[in-house]
Amino acid sequence: MPRELSPSELESFRSLGWAGVTPMLSPTVRRALDRVLETQNGGTLSLDECFTLAHSTGDDLLGLLVAADLLRSELAGNLVTYVVNRNINFTNVCFVGCKFCAFSRGPRESDSYFLSLEEVARKSVEAWQLGATEVCIQGGLPHGLPPFYYRDILRAVKNAVPGMHIHAFSPMEIVYGVELTGMPLADYLSMLRDNGLGTLPGTAAEILDDEVRMVLSRNKLSTAQWIEVIRTAHRCGIRTTSTMMYGHMETPAHWVRQMLLIREMQQDTGGFTEFVPLGFVHQNTLLFQQGLARSGPTLAEHLKVHALARILLAGSINNIQVSWVKLNRKLSQLCLHAGANDYGGTLMEENISREAGATAGQYTSPEDFQSLILEIGRIPAERNTSYSRINIKVPLEQFTAEVGLEPEFA
C-alpha cells in the first residue's frame, strides 16, 4: 500500500510553477517539455524523448510533474470529474488463471458465486434509485457459459432500467463471447450494441507486450486480439476506455510503447474516452508470491505514469483518470496534481482490487468525491460515461469559501 504523504510533500512540486522548475531541468527534458506545452500535443515528441521522460528522476521528474499539471489545466481546466455508477461483477468463477488476479475462484470453491440475470437487474435498479447513471459489468470467465449470456445480461438490465448506461465486458469477455457464439467479431459487437451495450471497458490490456503477457496470464487474449476488439468496437460506434497496469514486471519502455500505441489507435478511430493507469495491487497475487513481480508501484512510479500519460497523450486523449480503489486518499489527490483530471466512478461495490489487497474501500460517495476535490482547490463535477454531459456540483460561492479564495480570483 502506498504510504501516506505529509502536507509538505503534497505541496513540494505544486508550489514551484513552470518558471520555477525550468532552470533545474536537464536541457533534453526542458526542450521536450517546452515543445509539448507550446503545442499542447504529445505527438511532437520523438521516441527517444519519450523514453527520456519515462526514465526521469530527481529534478527532471519534478519538471515532468509540474509540466503535466500545467498541461492538465490548459487541456482539461480545473474541473475534476466523476461518474455515479455501480460495479457489478456477476461471477468470480474463472478458468483463465491470471497470476495478477486474486478475485477469481474455481467453480467448486466455497466462496464462488454466479449472479442470476434477475440479481443483476435488481442491483441495477438499486443503483438507479441511488442516483447512478451507469453500471459497470464484468466477471470471470466460467466454463459452460450460455452462448448468448452477455446479450442476455444487457437485456435484463435494459428491461429493468431503460435509462441506465451499460459499460460492460472486457475485450477478453468479448473474445470469449465470439468463441461461444461462433459469430464474426463485428457482428457480435453490433448485436451487443443493439441490445443495450453503451461503452466497453478497455481492460484486459495490462501490458500490451506478448512476452510480458505470457507471464501475467498465459491463457489470456494476445496483444493483437486486444487491439482488434477495441478497433472493431470503435468502428461499430462503441466507445471504450483505455488502460495500462503498472508496477509489476514491466519497464518504463513498456509504458511508452503502450501509450504511443493507444495514441496511434485514437488518431485512427477517435473512440477512446479516457486513459486509466492501474497500479498493480500485489499483496494477494500469485505473481508477487512467486517472486515474478515487484511489490507494486513506488510513489515515484505512481506520479510518473500519470504525468507521462498527460504529456504523451496530450491532444489525443485529454481525460486521464486516477483509479482511486488502488490508491490511498492522499496519493489519489497527488496524482490529480500530476496530470489527471478524473476520479472515475463511485463504484458502490468494487471487488477485484479489494480481493488483491487494496484497502481504499468499495465505494466513494459523490459527497466524498466533492470533498476530496475541494481539498485540493479544484471544482467537482459529475459527468456521464462519455464526458458529453458535465454538471458542476458546487456553487462558485461554496467553492471559493472552501478553498479560501476571493471570488474574483477563483
**Do the beta carbons of residue 145 and residue 97 sit within 8 Å?**
no
User: Which of left, alpha, beta for 270 (phi over 0: left; psi -120 to 50: alpha)?
Assistant: left
Please name the residues in contact with 88: beta carbons below 8 A apart, sequence gap of 6 or more.
115, 120, 123, 124, 135, 136, 137, 349
Mean pLDDT of 55-74: 95
Looking at residue 329, what is its pLDDT?
A: 82
Domain parsing of the chain, residue ranges = 16-76, 79-398
Please name the residues in contact with 393: beta carbons below 8 A apart, sequence gap of 6 or more.
366, 370, 380, 381, 382
**Cα separation of 244 and 279, whole Å?**
8
Percent of the chain with pLDDT over 70: 89
Looking at residue 410, what is its pLDDT?
A: 30
Alpha carbon dihedral 12, 14, 15, 20, in 10-degree steps, equals: 100
Mean pLDDT of 338-360: 70
Percent of the chain with pLDDT over 90: 75
Counting every residue written for the chain, the total comes to 410
Whether pLDDT at 16 is above 80 = no
**Cα separation of 105 and 275, whole Å?**
29
Looking at residue 359, what is its pLDDT?
A: 46
**Do the beta carbons of residue 76 and residue 387 sit within 8 Å?**
no
Whether pLDDT at 353 is above 80 = no
Query: How many alpha carbons lie under 13 Å from residue 201 in its C-beta half-sphere?
Result: 23
Q: Enumerate the H helices of 244-386 as residue ranges.
A: 252-269, 286-289, 299-313, 329-336, 352-356, 366-375
**Do the beta carbons of residue 135 and residue 168 sit within 8 Å?**
yes
**Cα separation of 324 and 80, whole Å?**
13
Q: What's the pTM value of the predicted model, to 2 decimals?
A: 0.91
Whether pLDDT at 406 is above 60 = no
Torsion sign across C-alpha atoms 124, 130, 136, 138: negative
Looking at residue 289, what is its pLDDT?
A: 85
Q: At what angle do helices 252-269 and 299-313 cross, to 10 degrees?
A: 30
Query: How many alpha carbons lie under 13 Å from residue 183 in its C-beta half-sphere?
Result: 18
**Cα separation of 260 and 175, whole Å?**
24
Q: Band the pLDDT of 9: cuts 50, 70, 90.
A: low
**Cα separation of 1 and 358, whole Å?**
7
Please give the mean pLDDT across all residues of the chain.
Answer: 90
Mean pLDDT of 311-316: 98
pLDDT single digits (tens) 234-285:
999 999 999 999 999 999 999 999 999 999 999 999 999 999 999 998 777 8
pLDDT single digits (tens) 390-405:
999 877 666 555 555 4
Q: Which residues of 370-385 are buried (b: 16+ CB within 10 A; e: fewer)?
A: bebbbebebbbbbbbb
**Cα separation of 210 and 222, whole Å?**
6
Looking at residue 11, what is its pLDDT?
A: 63
Q: Band the pLDDT of 30: cuts 50, 70, 90.
A: very high
Whether pLDDT at 325 is above 70 = yes
pLDDT single digits (tens) 102-150:
767 888 888 899 999 999 999 999 999 999 999 999 999 999 999 999 9
- Regarding the domain delimited by 79-398, which CATH topology (the fold level of the hierarchy) does it fall under? TIM Barrel (3.20.20)
Whether pLDDT at 97 is above 90 = no
pLDDT single digits (tens) 159-187:
999 999 999 999 999 999 999 999 999 99
Looking at residue 358, what is its pLDDT?
A: 44
Query: How many alpha carbons lie under 13 Å from residue 45 in its C-beta half-sphere?
Result: 33
pLDDT single digits (tens) 200-243:
999 999 999 999 999 998 889 999 999 999 999 999 999 999 99
**Do the beta carbons of residue 377 and residue 403 sit within 8 Å?**
yes
Query: How many alpha carbons lie under 13 Å from residue 52 in its C-beta half-sphere?
Result: 16
Cα–chain center distance at 35: 27
